[in-house]
Chain A
């Protein structure tokens, strides 16, 4: 029986091999299409895509109005997280000004984007100081501080670097080297995209709109 099957398979073999390129080709084509779709999906975002996405680490900190802010209570909104400090004159104001413009350009969806600054300088940044600082950019922004160890835990969860430096040649008591990415959390609470410093406002608006769809 086995021989017959073998024999039977012999004439079938060329048939399979003739059909083969078509069959394999179809699979290849599907794979290529899937790959392209995947690439297209990835390319849809202008910022750095986090794959696989993961749940954004939850945290609870004190907002500029003295109230408690918890990230997990922002479901349904896109949250743009920025880690900075009020003494910073260049990178932080640039980013906040750009996020403010991007938010305005969302029009009626602006309310569905929560921009949150988490201080890397709790020594200087009291809620009152944070309030005055972020209000210069948008009254709708949230600025958070808290106990140093809790802020450090949040930074660690997001891979944010912040190092206090006493530098010579400046009258500043100290400066802080810090990561300059905007971490974007989708309405389901997944950390999806990271904006590098210098990404255009157009690209930010583009990515926010995708996540708000």
Chain B
């Protein structure tokens, strides 16, 4: 934890130095969003039987109109914002899933409620941790099993920070 924090600080410092070195023009484009501890929970694609992916008729996932794939997964990552302005994760994409959504789970008296969210806020000079029982990036309709040791590529799109590539280690 401390190590993660320190490395985030070091990276932020490097970014600031890089921005100073390249002048004000480059400063606006400096990467303000950093990711750390990106990981995905192991999950089966469930392709071999009972296919239940995206419906051709409704476009819905996990409906009764069965179409290839059907397993779901979750990606967790810590988002750090070195910028002076608050930012938001707006969407994510990955080649391993048919659909990728941003979700939040809330524990209401022991009952877990998972809901889609429009955005995941990342405060200025702060960070947001996506973790089990909180925010996650939901991979729907997996095209492959997520096996421990695999690395899953994702592109995260931020409101201000633009696109950030990240690899999530499956465990």
A interface residues (Cβ-Cβ under 8 A, vs B): 86-91, 93-94, 97, 123-124, 126, 128-129, 132-133, 135-137, 161, 165, 167, 169-175, 177-181, 196-198
Contacts and interface: CB of A to CB of B under 8 A. Distances in A.
Contact of A89 (B55, B74, B133): B74
Nearest to B138: A89
A198 B76 CA distance: 15
A89 B110 contact: no
A179 B42 contact: no
Contacts of A136: 42-44, 145
Please provide the 10 A-B residue pairs with the shortest distance between their CB atoms, ordered closest to farther: A173-B63, A94-B132, A173-B60, A170-B116, A89-B72, A89-B74, A169-B116, A129-B50, A136-B44, A180-B112
A173 B61 contact: yes
Contacts of B105: 90-91
Interface string B11-46: 000000000000000000000000000000111101
B111 interface: yes
A90 B99 contact: no
Interface in B121-165: 132-133, 136, 138-140, 145
B6 interface: no
A172 B100 CA distance: 11
Given A94-B132, A171-B101, A179-B110, A89 B139 contact: yes
Interface of B: 41-44, 46, 48-50, 52, 54-55, 58-64, 70-74, 99, 101, 103, 105, 107, 110-118, 132-133, 136, 138-140, 145
A55 B132 CA distance: 32
B158 to A, nearest CB: 19
Contacts of A86: 46, 71
Interface of chain A: mostly helix, strand, loop or mixed: loop
Contacts of A123: 64
A90 B74 contact: yes
A173 B114 contact: no
A161 B63 contact: no
B133 A90 contact: yes
A190 B55 CA distance: 44
A80 to B, nearest CB: 16
Contacts, number: 120
Given A132-B48, A197-B112, A174 B62 contact: yes
A178 B113 CA distance: 7
A137 B111 contact: no
A133 B132 CA distance: 18
A133 B55 contact: no
Contacts of B73: 89, 93
A118 to B, nearest CB: 15
A180 B107 contact: yes
A179 B112 CA distance: 6
A159 B17 CA distance: 57
Contacts of A167: 115-116
Given A172-B60, A173-B61, A177-B112, A89 B136 contact: yes
Given A90-B136, A132-B48, A178-B112, A171 B59 contact: yes
A172 B61 contact: yes
Given A91-B114, A180-B111, 10 more contacts: A89-B72, A94-B133, A97-B42, A126-B50, A129-B52, A135-B44, A170-B101, A171-B140, A173-B55, A178-B112
